[in-house]
Every structure is written in structure tokens, then in C-alpha cells.
Amino acid sequence: MKNTLRQRIGEQFSLITLLLWALRVGVFIVVLWGSINTLASGRYEASTWINLVIAGLAQGSIYALIALGYSLVYGILRFINFAHGEVFMAGAFTSVFVAEALERSGFFPKYPILTFAILLIVSMTSSTVVAVLLERIAYRPLRNAPRLVPLITAIGASFFLQYTFRGLYGSGFHTYPEFGQLWGVWNIAGMDIQIVQVFVFLASLLMMAGLYLIVERTKTGKAMRAVSEDKEIAALMGIDVNRVIVITFVIGGMLAGSAGVIRGMYQPQGIWFFMGFHPGLKAFTAAVLGGIGNIPGAMLGGLFLGVFETVGPTLILQGLGIPAANQLKDAIAIIMLVLVLIFRPQGILGEKLAEEKA
């Protein structure tokens, strides 16, 4: 009896496995076909592709910074902080007023680096304040509630924050001043590379390296890891769980705040109350892609997503003869996510997390 049951389950799985394999092969052929067509058409030069990849890395590193906030919170509280995109917005939106004031007063042209530092501090502070208030008011009372409850709270908080900032700062678009030093081109081996993109990429890497050191090397990091393993046992071991959770939100807020300023350096226009929603969804996708709860995974997921959505439409869809391919770049990103999760249901680096947990 037990055997026949097993066999039945086995059959089901083999059928599904077969279907999934067919899907994989099918998508692979489509992707290959599109790419070969595009490349064969000779419409784009090699340098164009490299430029696109670099642009994708820059965009992806912003996603990655936000994605880390999702991943950190998920790692510890096991719920999706849907409002994290709004934490990012809070920092960018608040600091743009400081930036505008400094530009008007003439401080900015004289001391651009100092201005950058001030903006970073303002942005990180406001993001952190929002993140911590969010935790204290909206999430803490729900610490032991069913999993769906904080998700709904987070969705509510996302709307609440968007329209709070709209009420505070208005619905107009604001613009960061242009940091002239960043807007130039480095010519490396005959290739024109935008300095700002390199800057964005390196600045984000620096932030992430800092985070990695905190989590891996410091006592706080150790406490964070312990809480993410098991809250109750961590509490028994004398770890102040509440404090660790607040620190997690502080770190997530700081990263989102820095992402806000970096976004302002890289894409100075369109700073408004709704600017957090789309990057939030993307970063959420990136976090899952890399394996949610996993720090290097979030970085990798962000970069991967950025590159794929920048290069993907041109490379794959145009070769298939699809009109207005760039319109579908988000669709490509999502399909890729689905594929990755079919291959590796725990995300790209999810394994490591699970191993640690095991």
C-alpha cells in the first residue's frame, strides 16, 4: 500500500518534471533564437552591448541596495516589508529639498563633496527614522500574528507613507543638482564609459561590503544572525531581540537612504512621492531572485535584474520581431524570475541560507 502511494506520487512528479523541462527547453530556444537574430542583424556594435551592461549594473546596484532592506527584514522577521520602497522614497525626497536649498545658496558649487556627505546623512537619517517608526508603530504589535497580517499592514503602510509625503511635500517633481564632476566619460581601451555609472556601482559595492562586514564580523551581526535562526533561543541566550530587530530596520533604512541619494546622483529627475513604488517592486523581485533572506543573494539578484532588464528587451525581443520591445522589459524581468524559481525554487543563492539553517 505504501509503495503504490509512493509510486503514484512519483508519477505525478515525473509528469510535472517533464512539463517543466519542456518549458525550460522551450524558453531556452526562444531566448537563443531571439539573441542570435538580433546579433546577426548587426544593428548594434559590441561597444553598445558593453555600455548597456554597464548601465544595467548601475541600475541593478540601486535595486540591490533596496533589495538588501527586504532581505534583512525577511531574514529576521520572515515577512515581506512591502513598504520598504517608501523608505527609499522618504530619504531621496527629503534630501532633495536640502540639495535644492544648498544649490540656491551657492554652497553646493563650492563644496560638492561636502554637499554629497550632507545629502547622504540627511537621506539616511530620514529613511532610518521612517523605517524605525514603521517597525515600532505598524509591525511590532504584530510580531506573533499570522504571516499574512503583517503583509497587509505593510501594504497599508506603503499607501500611508506615499500619501503622507505627498501631503508634506506636495505632488510636484523635484530634481537633484547635477554633480558636474560625475558627468563625463572615461575612455578605456577605445570604449566610452560613463563615470557616473562607475561611481554608482562602486558606491553601492562599498555600502554592501560595509553591511557584509557588520553582519559577519561584529557582535551585532552575530546577534542578528542568531535572531534570524531562532528568535526564542536567541532571547534565551541573552540577546535583546527587540533591539536586534530595530537595528535591522536601522541598517535597512540606511541602505535605502543611501540608495536614495545614489539614485539622485545617477538619475536626478523625477523625485516625487511615487518614486519608491516601482523600484520597491523591482528590489523585492531582486531579493527573491537572489534568495530572500540572503545578503550576497540580494546583491547578486539586484545586479542580475538590472542587467537583464536593460539588455534583455534589445537582445531577445527585438530578434523575435516584437514591436516596442522596451515596453516589455518588466515582463522579461518577471518571466526570468519565474524561470529561475522553477530551476531553483529557493533563488540563486538561497541554498546557502537553507544550509545554514539546517
Partner 1 sequence: MFKRTLLVLSLVLLAGMAIAACGGGNDVVVIEPGEPIHIGYMLPTSGGASVYGESAIGAMNVLISQRGQLLGHDILLTGEDTECSAEGGETAAQRTVADPTIVGVIGTTCSSAMTAAMTTMSESGLTVISPSNTSPALTNPDETWQPGYFRTAHNDLFQGAIAAQYAIEELGASTAAAIHDGDPYTEGLATAFTDNFTKLGGTVTTTEAVNKGDTDMRSVLTTVAADSPDVLFFPIFQPEADFIVAQSVEIPGLENTILFSADGSFVAPFAPSAGQAALGMYFSGPYVTGDKEDTFQADYLAANGTVPPGPFGEHAADGLGILLNAIEAVAEVDDDGTLRINREELREAVEATTDYDGITGLLSCGPKELVPGVTFRGDCATGEALGVFQANQAWIDSEDAYPPDVLWTP
Partner 2 sequence: MFNNVRLALKLGFYGGIIALFISVIGMVETFDQRNIINGVVSIGLGVLLINVLVIGYQTAARIGKGLVQPGENGKQTARARAIVIGNGSLAGAVVSSWLALLVLVESQINLRSVLINVSPELISLLTFGLETGAGALLLLFLGTLFGGLGAFTFSLPSRVRRPLVAGLMWLAFWGLLSGVIRTTLSEIGIPSVVAKLFVKIEGLTPLGAVIIFLLAIAINLGNQRWREPLIERITLLPPTRQRYFRFGTWALGIILLLALPWIVGRVTSDTLVLVGIYILMGFGLNIVVGKAGLLDLGYVAFFAVGAYSTAILTSADEISAIQISFWAALPIIVIITGIAGLLVGAPVLRMRGDYLAIVTLGFGEIARFIALSDWFKPWLGGAQGVINIPSVALGNFLIVGPQKLYYLILAFALFALFISRRLDKSRVGRAWEAMREDEDVAETMGVNTIYYKLLAFAMGAMIASLGGAVFAVKLSAIFPHSFNVEVSITALSLLIIGGIGSLPGVVVGAFALVGIPELLREFSEYRLLLYGAVLIIMMIVRPEGLVPSTRRARELHEDEAAQDDWLKSETERNIITPAEL
* Calpha distance 341→329 (Å, rounded): 18
* Calpha distance 37→57 (Å, rounded): 24
Choose one: 40-48, 106-114, 196-204, 328-336; the region binding partner 2 (CB under 8 A).
328-336
Smallest distance, partner 1 to C-beta of residue 47, A:
8
User: For the chain, what is the largest distance between any 2 Cα atoms, rounded to a whole number of angstroms?
Assistant: 83
Query: Of residues 6-45, which lie at the interface with partner 1 (CB under 8 A)?
Result: 43-44
Nearest to 87 by CA among 302, 280, 283, 285: 280
Q: Which of 7, 16, 114, 186 is the binder for partner 2 (CB under 8 A)? A: 16
Size of the site for partner 1 (CB under 8 A): 38
Query: Of residues 301-330, which lie at the interface with partner 1 (CB under 8 A)?
Result: 309-311, 313-314, 318, 323-327, 329-330
Question: Could you give the C-alpha distances from 330 to 163, 231, 305, 326, in angstroms and in order?
Answer: 25, 37, 10, 9
- For the chain, the residue count is 358
Q: Which does 310 bind (CB under 5 to 8 A by kind): partner 1, partner 2, none?
A: partner 1
Kind and range of the H or E run holding 336: helix 329-343
* Per-residue binding letters, 90-119, with partner 2 (x by CB under 8 A): -------x----------------------
Q: 26-41: string of b/e by CB count within 10 Å (b at 16+)? A: eeeeebeebbeebeee
Kindly tell me which of 295 and 333 has the beta carbon lying closer to partner 1: 333
Query: Of residues 251-270, which lie at the interface with partner 1 (CB under 8 A)?
Result: 263, 267-270
Smallest distance, partner 1 to C-beta of residue 314, A:
6
Residue 192 C-alpha cell reads as 566610452
Query: Of residues 275-304, which lie at the interface with partner 1 (CB under 8 A)?
Result: 277-279
Q: Which does 311 bind (CB under 5 to 8 A by kind): partner 1, partner 2, none?
A: partner 1
Residue 143 in the binding site for partner 2 (CB under 8 A): no
* Calpha distance 300→329 (Å, rounded): 19
Q: Which of 9, 29, 32, 209 is the binder for partner 2 (CB under 8 A)? A: 9
CA dihedral over 45, 199, 162, 156, signed as positive or negative:
positive
Nearest to 260 by CA among 68, 96, 105: 96
Binding site for partner 2 (CB under 8 A): 5, 8-9, 12, 16, 19-20, 23, 74, 78-80, 97, 137-138, 141-142, 145-153, 155-164, 166-171, 281, 284-285, 288, 292, 322-324, 327-328, 330-331, 334-335, 337-338, 341-342, 344-346, 350-351, 353-355, 357-358
